[in-house]
Amino acid sequence: MDKIFKSYAFNILLILIFTVTALYLTIRDFVDEILLSLQSIQLGWLMVVILMALFYHVLIGIILTQLTRMSNPHYKYRQGIVNAFIAAFFHGITPSASGGQFAQVYVFNKQKVALSDSASVLWLDFIIYQSTMVVTVFILMLFRFRHFFGRHSPFFIFVVVGFIINASIIFGLWSLARLPRFHHWVSTRGIEIGIKMRMIKNKEKAIAFMEKQIDRFQVEQAKIPTHKLLICKVVCLNIIRLMFYYFLPLVAMKSLGISLLDGYSWIDVMALSAFVAMINAFIPVPGASGGTEATFILMFTTVVGYINASATMIIWRLSNFYLIMTIGGIVFVLFKFIHRNK
């Protein structure tokens, strides 16, 4: 436990170091102007920003509750919301957001949800969210990618690669599960290529892992036609969830009295938010700290200018990450305390 605590403490320290470094490098020449912009913040709109950031995670909790009730009808919304905030905390303090699902399994276990059921919920949530997100980002890319690619072409290679990776995860699992020839090629020739490239060390272990994931994918995919109404509801909740996330910078701008430059609209803000999220997938630092701040400023300078983009980033990041991390950490401590007493 001491080792785990030290690891998390180190990761939190890393988040702070990378964030402070990124802020210093990006806003050091415009500190006075940015502080002046922040002083004009409207408290009413700031509360809207905070409520949107909170409601985003409440929606995740509602989604988890809906999916968990397939096997555990008495699972409560407050349990799902607790699970969502604890997952947000562990997503934030672990590299590449790798600790969130492990924390969710732990929370499900304490909430008397069987391991097989919690694994099923997390797999189904992954499939639905990943599919919804890929379709949403694809639509946004169709609308605005060409315009922004002309301004940030070298940087947007990462956006394209990020989208391809996210899309290929779902498409790859579907192809492996439904196309026998492709499945055979990956389990033989594909893994051999991975070994030669030193991406895979143990062939048998890699094949066993792949087969296990495909079996789980098939099991969860088979549930979708039998729960059409529930799946449609979860898809709609995920769309709303993504809209809240992509709209948050626009509301942060509103809180500072910032207007978009001529020729830009809300669809541009949504597209840029999606592009920032795509690029963040490549940043292995806990919370994608440092890279997130720099990427946001670089992207949004196009639509509001450098100083306004920097001020907006501070409001966006504080409400969407640091506030949620703080709440998630407090919820986790209280959750452990309550269940330890039980």
CA distance 155 to 137: 17
Looking at the domain assignment, is residue 92 inside a domain?
yes
Instruction: Report the chain's terminal Cα–Cα distance, integer Å.
Output: 20
Could you tell me which residues come within 8 angstroms of residue 206 by beta carbon, excluding any fewer than 6 positions away?
Answer: 191, 194, 200
Query: What pTM was estimated for this model as a whole?
Result: 0.84
Residue pLDDT, tens place only, 132-151: 999 998 888 887 777 777 76
pLDDT at residue 145 in the model: 73
Question: What is the residue whose two structure tokens read 């950031």?
Answer: 53
| 102 within a domain of the structure (yes/no) | yes
Q: Return d(Cα 91, Cα 66) in angstroms, integer.
A: 21
Answer whether residue 228 is part of any domain: yes
User: Could you read off the pLDDT of 279-336 as tens digits, one per residue?
Assistant: 877 776 666 666 788 889 888 988 898 889 989 999 999 899 889 988 998 899 899 8
Distance CA(33)–CA(280), nearest Å, equals 27
Domain limits for position 256: 30-341
Q: How far apart are CA 47 and CA 7, in angstroms?
A: 33
Q: Is residue 162 part of a domain?
A: yes
Instruction: Decide if 187 is inside a domain.
Output: yes
- What is the number of structural domains in the chain? 1
Tell me the C-alpha distance between 293 and 2, whole Å: 31
The answer to whether residue 21 is domain-embedded is: no
Determine, yes or no, domain membership for 5: no
Residue 182 lies in a domain: yes
Backbone angles phi, psi at 223, to 5 degrees: -75, -25
CA distance 9 to 77: 30
